[in-house]
Each structure stands twice: as structure tokens, then as C-alpha cells.
Structure 1
Amino acid sequence: MPEKQILNKGPAVIQWVSSKSGASPRRDYIPNRIRMGNGVELPFIGLGTSSVENSNEATEYSIRTALDLGYTHIDVTPGTHKIVGDVLKEYMDSGKLTRQDFFITTKLPCISHSRANVATALNSQLKYLQLDYVDLFLVQSPCGITIRQTAQGRNKFEPTNYSLPETWKGMEDVEVHLHWPQKDLVVLCQSLNVSLTAYAPLGSPGLQQTIDQRGDTSPLDEPLVIYLAQKYKKSPAQILLKQLTQRNIVVIPRSVNAQHLRENLDSLNFTISDNDMEALANVRSRGRIYTYTSRRNHPEYPFNENDDE
């Protein structure tokens, strides 16, 4: 497995990268990427396959539509490896794509945090993906768990004692959006040449009920975002994605809507002014949406309920 590399400068931003394979005319140029510490180039915009309407058919449609639109980065969620693998194999077998045309990110499940289980988990994913390698392998959760069955036949989730450094020796994406900008973490990662991937880059509009319970609004409904969308003639989602990629943060929004997928990719094709970026940076932080409170007593639980930025 590749070793972690730390350099003394921030990640390099690549505006346009020539396609090596030339397998398809639409891939003569690849949208903006960021160069990671090991020199690998990570596309700024990716497709997340997580729980797309809880439907295999919807997930498959989303992947096919994204690839046809020119997406090169697929962020694979546990449970979708076979679907992703079947679609990619079809595209490669037909000559539409080669392996070099796309970037695959997968995650280490929270039940596989022991050093000995890391390689086993990755090899299992490769089998379902029908690939020889993935481009990026992330620790999905800082809190490892084990599943035990109770006398009543129910599954019981218990914390493990594996430390993250120990897990790493066998081998991270984080929540970032307008209402949880992670400013200090972004500065730290970029100072160490560590690329950062944001999940929930739109603020998880699918969890609006949770947001409402906190008395908050969705980042999509933020007055400043709506104003800037009108100013730049873009959608609110494009403003939210661009303010992240313009901070050199990779985003992996998910959608089964072809127009939304197209808009997400097109968010790379404009620039937000410095003044407007500063205004977005000054939007009040609301805190995390994903707090994993059921794991609050886990020895590796990293979130402080009073966290704020």
C-alpha cells in the first residue's frame, strides 16, 4: 500500500489535465483536479453513491448518467461496490473507458479497523468492483466497532480498542459545508499537503428534519447563497460546491437527477470573487449535522458537542 507522504507545501491545483488515453473525445481534457501528497491527481468533483434513494436501479442510473456527463471520480459507499463494478466493467469492455479514465475512492468499514483486517476489507471490495486497485482508500469513521449477537438474536454494536494510528499502519473524508466550514482543519491539512474531501457538501438537504429540529436552515436556503446564485446565474447548489472547490476541497455530492449531476460538474466553470468568498466565509457556523451520538462513549470519538467555528 502507498505510504503517507507529508510535504512542506500545499496541494497543487491543476486547472486542466490532458487525458492520457484519449478513449473518448469528451475526455480530451479533464476538469480541475488537485495533486495529492503522493503526486496522484484527485478530481475536485466526484459522484457519491451513498444510499441513492435506497434503490439499486437509481444508483446504477446515477453512475451511468455521471459517467456519460464526463465525471471521472466515483466515491463508492459500502453496499454499492458490485453495482459500481458492473457498470465500470461494461464501460471498459465496450471501449467507452479505460481504467486510467476514472478515479475510484472506497472506504474502510468501521468493523474492519484492526490492522489485520484492512487488507482483507480492501481485497473484498476489489473483488466486487472487478478492479485490480482503487485510487484512494479512506477510513470511513474514526470509531471502530464490532457486532455481537445478543441472546435475543439482536445485533449489538460495541466499540473496539483499535487506535487510528494502528489502523493507518494497516493501510480520511470529513463533513464540510457552508454551515460547518472546518476552517482550522482545512488550513492544517493544506499546510501538510493533505488533500481534503468533503462529504455532505450541500449540508445534507435530505436530513432537513434534523436541521429543522435544531432551528437551522439548510445552506441551500441561506439568503447570501440565494443572492449569489442570482448574481452569478448559477444554482444555490453550484454556489455551495464552488465555494468548497475554490478552497481546494474535493466534493462528492450525490444525485439521481441528470440536470443536477450536470450542474454539479459545471460548478467548476466559474469563479466566485474574493469579496464574495469572504462573505461566505463569514456566514455563521451552525455545527455538525453528523455527530454519531450513539458512539459518544467510544475511546476514539473525536467530536466535541461544543465544537464551533
Structure 2
Amino acid sequence: MEKTFNLSNGAQIPCVGLGCGAIKEDEIEDTLRTALKSGYRLFDCALLYGNEAWIGTAFEKIFSEGEYSREDVFITTKLPMIGNHPDRVEYFLKKSLENLKTSFVDLYLIHFPVGFQYENEDNYFPKKDGIIQLDFSHTDLVSLWKAMEQQVIAGRTKAIGISNFNVKQISQILKCRIPPANLQIEVHAYFQQKELRDFCKNNGIVVEAYAPLGSPGRREAFKPNGVPQVLADPIVTAIAQRYSKSPAQILLRFLVDEKVVVLPKSVSPVRLHENIELFDFEMTAEDHAQLNSLDRGEKGRSFDYLKIFQGLEKHPENPMPIMEFVEE
């Protein structure tokens, strides 16, 4: 079982990574040490998570001890939505590099195709009357992508990619000088995004899954009356029991077998170890057929950005299907 996938720039990306968005300051060093010891080499960060500087400090300390080096890890970070303008890409990447205490990242992503109004460099979620202010003044993804390309040319990132983009949006930038190496989206057994993933496969784009376990906390917060937890699905638990594995291990291995990079989040040493112990068993074609049958389409989505960002349906680069907004 291969443990890395090939990116279009020739680099290899580990097929299991650690989502760093929920790690608190007092947890970061211990979490990174445990993750490295367990075998993690891919670390998924973002400026708007607010913990990049702590991650950078922890890595600097760990690397100084000699057992691991910067070259051993694959670091991803992302352009915040207030940076969705060609003139701001370089600034925000440099800010991330300073935070992470590194001269380059391995992968830099546009976090979301819709920008937020820029007030200042530290206000990542500008609000008016409690509502996040979307930017309708700059919606040109091609010019934004060209600014991303310049970061590769300058050596600040080895690869560039996108997050939360749809087929139409990806198509806009495919003919640019440097094609996207990666698309990070929500993917799990209840929300498999097969059409989008097939499009990426046909265009040499590696897909990464955030919320590969269905993001239980997010689902409760935004869809209290929504679908049940995929971790508790009878098919998943039955397969897990058959292999003496956890439901999480079954769901993660399923996606890795589908050539999807998985980014589970945890600070628990037990779960950190469990989530990367995916390679000592092999599921059957029948198991895969059963897991494939769990797909609920849009009804299985955990991150409903139409609910999170008010007015998103009116934005020309809204990546969400409007049909779901109409139904709601």
C-alpha cells in the first residue's frame, strides 16, 4: 500500500496528514511530537486558524533537537479570504512563512474562492452587524491564481492548489501557467463528491479530504436535524468489527484506497496513533461497494457554507449548489 501520492510538480504528498486547525497553544508541542513519532509527515495549517506561530515555534524547537528536520515534513498553509486579491497574496504567504519559521511551504492553497472585505491584515472575518462581509469587488480567480503562480516562481512554495472550489472554478485556472496540484474539499463516506473527484483525477489534481470522518462537531453545530454520524453507521461499524479496527480507521482507509489524502484532526495520543495505523489490513471489493453505497450527496454535507456565510448565494464565485439553498 503506497503511503504517498504524486503531485503534478513531481513532489510526493503523504496520504495521511494532521489537520492542525483545532490545536490550542498549550497542546501544540506535545501534539506535534506525538504525531511525528506516530508517523505523520503532512501537517495542514492555515493563517486564519490563528495557531501558525505556535506551530512554527514548536517545529523550530523539535527540529533543533536533531531527530527530525524541515525536510522530513510536508507543510501546507492557506491564503485567508481577506487575501483573495492579487496584490495581497505575497504579503499573506510571507506572513505565514514568518509564523511557521520556514523559508518555504510545500503547498499553498487558496482557502476559499470567495474573498472577504479587507479591513486590516489581522481581521480575518470582517463583520457588520454580526454578518461576515463578502468581497464583491474582486472576483477574478485567474488574476488571483497568477499571483499564486508567482509564489512558486519566487520559491516561497513548492506547489499551489485550491480549497472549496467547484468544477467551473477549477476550469478557469487549468489553462494557466502552473495548474493546481491539489484540491482540498470536504469528503467522507456520506459526502463522496465523486463527480468533482473524477474531474480532478482526469486533470492531474490530487484531492485532499478535510472532515474525512464527517466532522461530528460541525454537523451538530450547523445541522442539528441532519443526517446521523457516519462513524456510527451500521455498515461502517460492521466492517470495523470484522477487521478488529475502529470505525474511524475504516472510513480513513476507504478514502485512501480511493486515492484521497485524509486530514483527520485530533490531539488525543490514542486517536493520533489510531488514525495513521491504516496500512496493516486490506478491505475487500464488497466492503468498498458497501461504503460507496453510503453516499448521500449534498444531504451528507457537513460544511454548509450557505448557512455559514450569509449572502454567499449572491456572490458570482459561490462554490455551493444553489439548489440546496432553495430547498432550505
TM-score range, shorter chain: 0.7 to 0.9
Structural mapping, 1:221-232, within 5 Å:
221-232=232-243
The percentage of aligned residue pairs carrying the same residue is 33
1:199 and 2:170 aligned: no
TM-score, length-normalised on structure 2?
Answer: 0.79
Q: Contact 1:47–1:63 (CA<8 Å) still a contact in 2? A: no
TM-score, length-normalised on structure 1?
Answer: 0.83
Aligned equivalents of 1:99, 1:303: Cα separation in 2: 37
Shift of 1:222: 0.9
Shift of 1:269: 3.0
Aligned equivalents of 2:277, 2:95: Cα separation in 1: 34
Query: Which of residues 200, 205, 211 is equivalent to 1:189?
Result: 200
Shift of 1:208: 4.2
- Residues 109-136 of structure 1 show CA distances to partners (whole Å, capped at 9, x for unaligned) of 1110111111111111001111010000
Shift of 1:207: 2.4
1:292 and 2:314 aligned: no
Shift of 1:158: 3.0
Shift of 1:156: 5.5
Query: Which one has a larger percent helix, Structure 1 or Structure 2?
Result: 2
1:243 and 2:267 aligned: no
- The corresponding residue for 1:301 is 318
Q: Contact 2:21–2:46 (CA<8 Å) still a contact in 1? A: yes
- The corresponding residue for 2:73 is 102
- Residues 268-290 of structure 1 show CA distances to partners (whole Å, capped at 9, x for unaligned) of 33222111111111114133211
Change (3 A) 1:255 1:166: same
1:279 and 2:290 aligned: yes
User: Aligned with 1:116: secondary structure?
Assistant: coil
User: Aligned with 1:138: secondary structure?
Assistant: strand
Q: Contact 1:33–1:44 (CA<8 Å) still a contact in 2? A: yes
Which segments of 5 or more consecutive residues in structure 2 lack a partner in the other structure? Answer: 121-125, 149-161, 163-183
Aligned equivalents of 2:34, 2:285: Cα separation in 1: 33
Aligned equivalents of 1:155, 1:182: Cα separation in 2: 29
How many residue pairs are counted as aligned between the two chains?
Answer: 276
- The corresponding residue for 1:70 is 39
Aligned equivalents of 2:28, 2:189: Cα separation in 1: 26
Aligned equivalents of 1:154, 1:148: Cα separation in 2: 15
Aligned equivalents of 1:218, 1:163: Cα separation in 2: 37
- Residues 73-102 of structure 1 show CA distances to partners (whole Å, capped at 9, x for unaligned) of 110132121111111111211101122100
Aligned equivalents of 1:207, 1:156: Cα separation in 2: 18
User: Aligned with 1:267: secondary structure?
Assistant: coil
> Amino acid of the residue matched to residue 265 of structure 1?
I
Aligned equivalents of 1:48, 1:157: Cα separation in 2: 26
Shift of 1:51: 2.1
- The corresponding residue for 1:58 is 27
> Amino acid of the residue matched to residue 279 of structure 2?
L
Shift of 1:147: 4.2
- Residues 236-286 of structure 1 show CA distances to partners (whole Å, capped at 9, x for unaligned) of 000110110100000111101101000111023322211111111111413
Which segments of 5 or more consecutive residues in structure 1 lack a partner in the other structure? Answer: 1-13, 16-31
Q: CA RMSD in A?
A: 2.2
Give the 4+ runs in structure 1 shifted more than 3 A. Answer: 147-150, 152-156
